[in-house]
Amino acid sequence: MNDVEVEVLAEPELDDPVLVEGLPGVGHVGTLVAEHLIEEGESELLRRIYSEHLPPQVTVSETGLAELVAVECHHVAIGDRDLLVVTGDQQAASGVGHYRIAEAVLDIAGEVGVGSVLALGGVPTGELVEEHAVLGAASSETLIETLEDVGVEFRENEPEGGIVGISGLLVGLGGQRGLTAACLMGETSGYLVDPKSAQALLGVLQTHLDFEVDLTELEERADEMEDVVARMQEIEDQNVPTEDDLRYIG
Amino acid sequence: MNDVEVEVLAEPELDDPVLVEGLPGVGHVGTLVAEHLIEEGESELLRRIYSEHLPPQVTVSETGLAELVAVECHHVAIGDRDLLVVTGDQQAASGVGHYRIAEAVLDIAGEVGVGSVLALGGVPTGELVEEHAVLGAASSETLIETLEDVGVEFRENEPEGGIVGISGLLVGLGGQRGLTAACLMGETSGYLVDPKSAQALLGVLQTHLDFEVDLTELEERADEMEDVVARMQEIEDQNVPTEDDLRYIG
Amino acid sequence: MNDVEVEVLAEPELDDPVLVEGLPGVGHVGTLVAEHLIEEGESELLRRIYSEHLPPQVTVSETGLAELVAVECHHVAIGDRDLLVVTGDQQAASGVGHYRIAEAVLDIAGEVGVGSVLALGGVPTGELVEEHAVLGAASSETLIETLEDVGVEFRENEPEGGIVGISGLLVGLGGQRGLTAACLMGETSGYLVDPKSAQALLGVLQTHLDFEVDLTELEERADEMEDVVARMQEIEDQNVPTEDDLRYIG
Amino acid sequence: MNDVEVEVLAEPELDDPVLVEGLPGVGHVGTLVAEHLIEEGESELLRRIYSEHLPPQVTVSETGLAELVAVECHHVAIGDRDLLVVTGDQQAASGVGHYRIAEAVLDIAGEVGVGSVLALGGVPTGELVEEHAVLGAASSETLIETLEDVGVEFRENEPEGGIVGISGLLVGLGGQRGLTAACLMGETSGYLVDPKSAQALLGVLQTHLDFEVDLTELEERADEMEDVVARMQEIEDQNVPTEDDLRYIG
Nearby residues of D194 by Cβ (< 8 Å), 6 or more positions away: D27, D28, D29, D32, D122, D129, D132, D186, D188, D225
Distance CA B66, CA D140 (A): 8
pLDDT surpasses 50 at A245: no
Low-confidence ranges of chain C (pLDDT < 50): 241, 243-250
Name which of A141, A156, A172 is nearest C58 (Cβ-Cβ): A172
Q: Which residues of D touch B52 (CB under 8 A)?
A: 95-96, 99-100
**Within 10 A of C122 (CB to CB), how many other CB atoms are there?**
27
Output the average pLDDT for chain D.
92
More confident residue, C233 or D201: D201
| CA B42 to chain CA mean position, Å | 19
- Nearest residue on chain C to A155, alpha-carbon basis: C64
Nearby residues of D112 by Cβ (< 8 Å), 6 or more positions away: D14, D17, D46, D75, D84
Mean pLDDT value across residues D45-74: 96
More confident residue, B150 or B191: B150
Mean pLDDT value across residues B176-200: 94
Cβ atoms A41, A76 nearer than 8 A:
yes
Distance CA B154, CA A65 (A): 9
Identify which of D117, D128, D132, D48 has the alpha carbon closest to the alpha carbon of residue D83: D117
Q: Which residues of A touch C69 (CB under 8 A)?
A: 162, 172
Question: Chain D 91-110, CB below 8 Å of chain B: which residues?
Answer: 92, 95-96, 98-100, 102-103
Output the average pLDDT for chain B.
92
Best A143, A154, A185 residue to mutate vs chain C (most C CBs within 10 Å): A154
Q: What is the structure's pLDDT at B1?
A: 54
Q: What is the structure's pLDDT at B9?
A: 98
| CA C85 to chain CA mean position, Å | 9
Name which of B52, B57, B62 is nearest D163 (Cβ-Cβ): B57
Q: Do C63 and A166 touch (CB under 8 A)?
A: no
Identify which of B7, B85, B109 has the alpha carbon closest to the alpha carbon of residue B49: B7
Distance CA C115, CA C130 (A): 34
Cβ atoms A60, A131 nearer than 8 A:
no
**pLDDT tens track for D69-106:** 999 999 999 999 999 999 999 999 999 999 999 999 99
Q: Which residues of A touch B171 (CB under 8 A)?
A: 58, 66
Q: Which helix (H) or strand (E) holds A245?
A: helix A243-247
User: Rounded to the nearest 10 degrees, how much is the dihedral formed by the CA atoms of D160, D162, D165, D171?
Assistant: 140
* Residue D240 confidence class, pLDDT cut points 50, 70, 90: low
Q: What is the structure's pLDDT at A247?
A: 46
DSSP code, position B79: T
Q: What is the structure's pLDDT at C178?
A: 96
b/e per residue A178-200 (b: at least 16 CB within 10 A): ebbbbbbbbbbbbbbbbbbbbbb
More confident residue, C107 or A217: C107
pLDDT surpasses 70 at B109: yes
**Within 10 A of B124 (CB to CB), how many other CB atoms are there?**
17
Q: Give the largest Cα separation in chain A, rounded.
A: 57
Distance CA A123, CA B246 (A): 39
Q: Which residues of A touch C54 (CB under 8 A)?
A: 95
Cβ atoms C183, C139 nearer than 8 A:
no
Pair type for strands C163-164 and C4-8: unpaired
Distance CA D91, CA B70 (A): 22
| Model ipTM value | 0.89
Q: What is the structure's pLDDT at C249?
A: 40
DSSP string, A20-83: EE--S-GGGHHHHHHHHHHHHSEEEEEEEEEETTS-SEEEE-TTSBEEE--EEEEEEEETTEEE
HEC letters along chain C: CCCEEEEECCCCCCCCCEEEECCCCHHHHHHHHHHHHHHHCEEEEEEEEEECCCCCEEEECCCCEEEECCEEEEEEEECCEEEEEEEECCCCCCHHHHHHHHHHHHHHHHHCCCCEEEEEEEEECCCCCCCCCEEEEECCHHHHHHHHHCCCECCCCCCCCCEECHHHHHHHHHHHCCCEEEEEEEEECCCCCCHHHHHHHHHHHHHHHCCCCCCHHHHHHHHHHHHHHHHHHHHHHHCCCCHHHHHCCC
Q: What is the structure's pLDDT at A248?
A: 41
DSSP string, D138-183: ESSHHHHHHHHHTT-B--TT-STT-EESHHHHHHHHHHHTT-EEEE
Query: According to the CATH classification, is domain A4-247 in 3.40.50.10900?
Result: yes
Q: What is the structure's pLDDT at D248?
A: 40
pLDDT surpasses 60 at D242: no
Nearby residues of B198 by Cβ (< 8 Å), 6 or more positions away: B28, B29, B32, B33, B36, B186, B218, B222
**pLDDT tens track for D132-181:** 999 999 999 999 999 999 999 999 878 888 999 999 999 999 999 999 99
Q: Where are the domains of chain C?
A: 4-247
Angle subtended by helix axes D95-111 and D166-176, to nearest 10: 50
Phi, psi angles (nearest 5°) of residue C43 = -120, 150
Q: What is the structure's pLDDT at D106?
A: 98
| CA D11 to chain CA mean position, Å | 23
Q: Cite the beta strand spans of A134-250 per DSSP E.
A: 134-138, 163-164, 180-188
b/e per residue A155-167 (b: at least 16 CB within 10 A): eeebbeebbbbbb
Q: Do B172 and A66 touch (CB under 8 A)?
A: yes
Distance CA D104, CA D107 (A): 5
Is the CB of residue C138 less than 8 Å away from at least one CB of chain D?
Answer: yes
Q: Which helix (H) or strand (E) holds D186?
A: strand D180-188
Is the CB of residue A166 less than 8 Å away from at least one CB of chain C?
Answer: yes
* Residue A249 confidence class, pLDDT cut points 50, 70, 90: very low
pLDDT surpasses 90 at A38: yes
Identify which of B37, B17, B19, B28 has the alpha carbon closest to the alpha carbon of residue B185: B28
* Residue B160 confidence class, pLDDT cut points 50, 70, 90: confident
Distance CA D33, CA D36 (A): 5
DSSP string, D35-63: HHHHHHSEEEEEEEEEETTS-SEEEE-TT
Residue type, B195: P
Chains that touch D (3 or more CB pairs under 8 A): B, C
Is the CB of residue C140 less than 8 Å away from at least one CB of chain D?
Answer: yes
Q: Which residues of D touch B93 (CB under 8 A)?
A: 95
Cβ atoms D47, D110 nearer than 8 A:
no
Name which of C52, C54, C66 is nearest A171 (Cβ-Cβ): C66
Q: Do C1 and A99 touch (CB under 8 A)?
A: yes
pLDDT surpasses 50 at B249: no
Q: What is the structure's pLDDT at D227?
A: 87
Q: Which helix (H) or strand (E) holds D234?
A: helix D216-238
Q: Do B162 and A94 touch (CB under 8 A)?
A: no
Q: Which helix (H) or strand (E) holds D85?
A: strand D81-88
CB-based burial of residue B49 (10 Å sphere; 0-12 exposed, 13-18 middle, 19+ buried)?
A: buried
Sheet holding A57-60, edge to edge: A66-68, A57-60, B163-164
SS3 B9: coil
What's chain C's Rg over C-alpha atoms? 18
Chains B and C touch (3+ CB pairs under 8 A): no
When mean pLDDT is compared across A185-194, B104-113, D81-90, D143-152, the lowest value belongs to A185-194
Nearby residues of C129 by Cβ (< 8 Å), 6 or more positions away: C187, C188, C189, C194, C197
Angle at B81 between CA B76 and CA B82, to 5 degrees: 45
Q: How many CB pairs under 8 A join C and D?
A: 85
How far does D117 lie from chain C, in Å, by closest CA?
29
Q: What is the structure's pLDDT at B242?
A: 52
Angle at B20 between CA B19 and CA B26, to 5 degrees: 145
Identify which of A98, A172, A117, A107 has the alpha carbon closest to the alpha carbon of residue C70: A172
Phi, psi angles (nearest 5°) of residue C108 = -65, -40
Cβ atoms B51, B5 nearer than 8 A:
yes
DSSP code, position D210: T
Q: What is the structure's pLDDT at A241?
A: 46
Chains D and C touch (3+ CB pairs under 8 A): yes
Mean pLDDT value across residues D59-76: 96
pLDDT surpasses 80 at D1: no
**Within 10 A of A233 (CB to CB), how many other CB atoms are there?**
11
Identify which of A124, A109, A92 has the alpha carbon closest to the alpha carbon of residue A19: A109
Q: What is the structure's pLDDT at B229?
A: 78
**pLDDT tens track for A137-178:** 999 999 999 999 999 999 987 888 899 999 999 999 999 999
Question: Taken in order A71, A77, A78, A81, is the CA torsion positive or negative?
Answer: positive
Of the CA atoms within 13 Å of residue B139, those in its CB half-sphere come to 22
SS3 B193: coil
Identify which of D37, D21, D31 has the alpha carbon closest to the alpha carbon of residue D250: D31
Mean pLDDT value across residues A121-134: 90
Angle at D63 between CA D58 and CA D67, to 5 degrees: 20
SS3 B18: strand
Q: Do C58 and A169 touch (CB under 8 A)?
A: yes
